Structure 1
Amino acid sequence: MIRKNILITGASSGLGKGMAIEFAKQGCNLALCARRLENLELLKKELLEINPNILVFIKPLDVTIPEDVFTIFHAFKSDFENHNQTLDRVIVNAGMGKGAPLGKGYAKQNMQTAVTNFCGALSQMEAAMEIFRTQNHGHLVVISSMSAFRGYPRAMSVYAATKAAVKSLAEGVRIDVLNKPIKVSTIFPGYIQSEITDAIAKPPPFMISLDKGSKLLVKAINKEKANAYVPFYPWYFFKLLMPFMSLKMLRKF
């Protein structure tokens, strides 16, 4: 099934913006939301310059406010219906990477990351699945991380825990809709250049550009597999090795 009408959260920058650009090149209609409306307005202009034949809807959204998530998702659904279209795919992408080792006085920042990355994702998945169950079709895409497979030290501790949580949540939803015309995909990006990776003091290994990463993400999403590792090399092989890594190895990694 061709998924032409796509909702992306956290679309004002980074991976969300990169994916929006790639989908626009493919002729997809887009519903984009994020906290920074001014960035979305600039992105809409850019997307319509890339492809003036697509529809682009934008709305501000803080995913940590559950009632707003439901309101905005249903508003986007109505936007598509007004053009005789249905919402085909929702990409749960909004997130943040604030964090510090526990007990170091950064409890507020760690909690912000936990609430945004997990509770916010839960609200998005609830709202998306409500729409998909009603129309009996759709593709739910959850952006997790390669950090979901083991615990991570220092500033990554809470971030990795939230990505493990959404990985598990997405799998649970996938089980619920087995044999139904609703697909659920979990995407595990490695290090792709973004605002989150820019905040890391030491450049992480195997980093790829946002442009390349966005192309690979969209390619993986369009395949609609249950799980995808982006880029496949070397991260799929790291996934196989991670269960056998000692805590000392993880600390260095």
Structure 2
Amino acid sequence: MTTTLITGASSGLGSEMARQLAARGEDLGLCARRTERLEELRTEITTAYPERTVSIAALDVTDDEAVFRVFRAFRDEFGTIDRVVVNAGLGKGAPIGKGRYDANKATAMTNFVAALAQCEAAMEIFREQRYGHLVMISSMSAFRGMPGAMTTYAATKAGVAALTEGIRHEMVGKPDLDIDVSVLYPGYIRSEMNEHVKNTPFMVDTETGVAAMVAAIEKRTAHARVPSWPWKPMGTAMRHLPLPLVRRLT
């Protein structure tokens, strides 16, 4: 039986990952700031799958001490944490120099600094138990610098991708540690974060997009652009095309 901890599980990609992983037979530790939504999600999942164990906890991932406390509490409750999905994130931001440093700082603190805390807490548990699976949810925006309101968001997603690769690099050549490290780059998947965005090409519904994410997670792949079409070739194009063309693509 696999036990998966998901942060930012109260809505969007996080809540749908919880549903789909439960359907695959996994027990869940779910955390987010909005506990009323977590309660509803737990009821939904345990009603559909009575044999599943779903534990919930309130967590603001920007509270470093709380991150370590909640992760350890889940570990103590379940006896083990097999997988941690670092999913909690913030999508707000503004063009640099336009007077909204507050929004950009909040995005940076939530998407990168808080992700670092989550990785520290997860890897502490995995190193102690000598196995585990760390999953980082990045974004296709990580492949190039993005303009306007996306600038800081894209930078944080590039940062967490590099952070994850560094952790994976450290695990190479350590046969005594059975720890896999994955980074996922979702393309346009409908969620609460982007529900106001209209007429976006290649946008897929939440269930379809998360199904691609869950399939990659279950394969324990090192990195995956999801859904693979069109984002696998698009990622290659984004890395190499001139910025004006990248802007037209995205």
TM over 0.5, shorter chain:
yes
Alignment RMSD, CA only? 1.0
Task: Note the 1:233-252 alignment, pairs <5 A.
Answer: 233-252=229-248
Partner Cα separation in structure 2 for residue 45 and residue 203 of structure 1: 34
The answer as to whether partners of 1:24 and 1:50 remain within 8 angstroms in 2 is no
* 1:123 equivalent in alignment to 2:120: no
Residue 57 of structure 1 deviates from its aligned partner by 0.4
Deviations 1:5-26 (A, max 9, x none): 0000000000000000001111
The answer as to whether partners of 1:8 and 1:32 remain within 8 angstroms in 2 is yes
Partner Cα separation in structure 2 for residue 117 and residue 41 of structure 1: 24
Partner Cα separation in structure 1 for residue 112 and residue 93 of structure 2: 14
SS at match of 1:54: coil
Structure 1 counterpart of 2:108:
114
Q: 2:5 aligns with which of 4, 7, 31?
A: 7
Deviations 1:39-77 (A, max 9, x none): 000000001011000110000000001110000000000
Residue 203 of structure 1 deviates from its aligned partner by 3.2
Partner Cα separation in structure 2 for residue 80 and residue 131 of structure 1: 12
Residue 199 of structure 1 deviates from its aligned partner by 3.2
SS at match of 2:146: coil
Residue 248 of structure 1 deviates from its aligned partner by 1.4
Structure 2 counterpart of 1:168:
162
Structure 2: state its 5+ residue gaps: none
Task: Note the 1:96-245 alignment, pairs <5 A.
Answer: 96-179=90-173, 180-200=177-197, 202-245=198-241
Partner Cα separation in structure 1 for residue 76 and residue 196 of structure 2: 37
* 1:93 equivalent in alignment to 2:87: yes
SS at match of 2:166: helix
Partner Cα separation in structure 2 for residue 64 and residue 95 of structure 1: 10
Structure 1 counterpart of 2:42:
44
With normalisation by structure 2, the TM-score equals 0.96
Structure 1: state its 5+ residue gaps: none
Deviations 1:77-121 (A, max 9, x none): 01102xxxx210000000010011111121111111110000010
Runs of 4+ in 1 over 4 A off after TM superposition: none
Partner Cα separation in structure 1 for residue 144 and residue 230 of structure 2: 16
Q: 1:67 aligns with which of 61, 65, 68?
A: 65
With normalisation by structure 1, the TM-score equals 0.95
SS at match of 2:90: coil
Partner Cα separation in structure 2 for residue 214 and residue 50 of structure 1: 19
Q: Which amino acid aligns with 1:30?
A: L
Partner Cα separation in structure 2 for residue 132 and residue 197 of structure 1: 33
SS at match of 1:64: coil
Partner Cα separation in structure 2 for residue 206 and residue 251 of structure 1: 15
Residue 214 of structure 1 deviates from its aligned partner by 1.5
Partner Cα separation in structure 2 for residue 55 and residue 211 of structure 1: 22
Partner Cα separation in structure 2 for residue 168 and residue 203 of structure 1: 31
Partner Cα separation in structure 1 for residue 135 and residue 196 of structure 2: 25
